[in-house]
Amino acid sequence: MIFVPASVTCIFSPEISDNPLSSGSIGVGFTINMGVTAKRGNGIKFNGKPIEFPTVEYVLNRVGLNGVELRSELPLGCGFGLSGASALATAMLSEQPNIHLADLAHEAEVLNRTGLGDVVTQVFGGLVVRKNASCPSKAIVLKFAWNLELDFLIIGKIDTKEFLSEDVTRKRIKKAGIYWTKEFIKNPTIDNLFRCSNGFAKETGLIEFVEDVIEAVKSQNGLASMVMLGKAVFALNGFKALEEFGKPFKARIDCCGVRNESVCGSMQNRRF
């Protein structure tokens, strides 16, 4: 069984070209010890229910599999990179030779506008700075293996495809994403991660979706910012404040990346 950790994007700057393998996003994100597991099946099922999933269907068609059974404790569409995780987990079930499987998952994401940088982050694991916009095999990254538990709250969904399809929105996000990624690289600490993530969210206007939640955490001396792109928040020392808005949960940063659960360690040496 394949496991792919969920990906939390803090900052991103989209770059989309005619070639999906040269498309993606510069930015900062991290993986957590919750995500997607996959095993071979018939059709596409998510948590036991049939689902239309064009990103995963694209991968299945390319590798010649009949179907996949996907499971996750996290919901789709709320900013945790489950489309990328599902595509990557499905690709890794294949034994097709001469296919860069992680690149294929990235291609499926870009073409279906369900994500731009999650697959790269999920391949490397940990806190990942993506220094170029590309597929995993050509990615230039900085990786930080932080041993840290964070608090999370999911409020609702944001349509990633809608945001990635609007030129004006994409240009505004692109400029802000480059600036705040550089700001984080200058001082890659947890405090600066929250500062830069919030700076990005404010500059792009995205923070309006969760601003009241973030302010509540800050008022109780915690740190919080927005999960991109979802109506969700990640926080440090913010669990009690988050309880005022829903049912928060805790997760640790996962530093291994995509892996076969029956094999110890990550799968970074497979044919990506």
DSSP 207: G
Among 23-37, 163-177, 203-217, which is the least confidently predicted range? Answer: 163-177
Nearest 5°: CA angle at 29, between 24 and 40?
Answer: 75
Report the range of poorest mean pLDDT among 154-158, 199-203, 244-248. 154-158
What is the share, in percent, of the chain residues with pLDDT greater than 70?
92
Question: Rounded to an integer, what distance in angstroms lies between the CA atom of residue 94 and that of residue 180?
Answer: 37
Note the pLDDT of residue 261.
Answer: 78
CA distances, 162 to each of 79, 220, 271 (Å): 14, 34, 32
- Residue ranges of domains in the chain, CATH in brackets: 1-272 (3.30.230.120)
Residues of the chain with pLDDT > 90: what percent? 87
Average pLDDT in the 76-90 region? Answer: 97
Instruction: Kindly indicate the confidence band of residue 76, based on its pLDDT and cuts at 50, 70 and 90.
Output: very high
First to last CA, the chain: 18
Using alpha carbons, select from 204, 187, 189, 184 the residue that is nearest to residue 129.
184
So what's the pLDDT on residue 140? 98
pTM: 0.93
Pairing, β 249-252 against β 259-260: unpaired
What is d(CA 226, CA 8) in angstroms, rounded to the nearest whole number? 9
pLDDT per residue over 34-47, tens digit each?
999 999 999 999 99
Chain mean pLDDT for the chain: 93
Taking residues 172-192, report their average pLDDT. Answer: 96
Residue 254 DSSP symbol:
P
What pLDDT score does 264 carry? 43
Chain segment 194-243, per-residue pLDDT in tens: 999 999 999 999 999 999 999 999 999 999 999 998 999 999 999 999 99
Give residue 99's pLDDT band: very low, low, confident or very high (50, 70, 90): confident
Q: Tokens 């005619």 correspond to what residue?
A: 18
Instruction: Enter the tokens of residue 158.
Output: 């944001």
pLDDT above 90 (res 272): no
Burial class (CB in 10 A: 0-12, 13-18, 19+), 130: buried
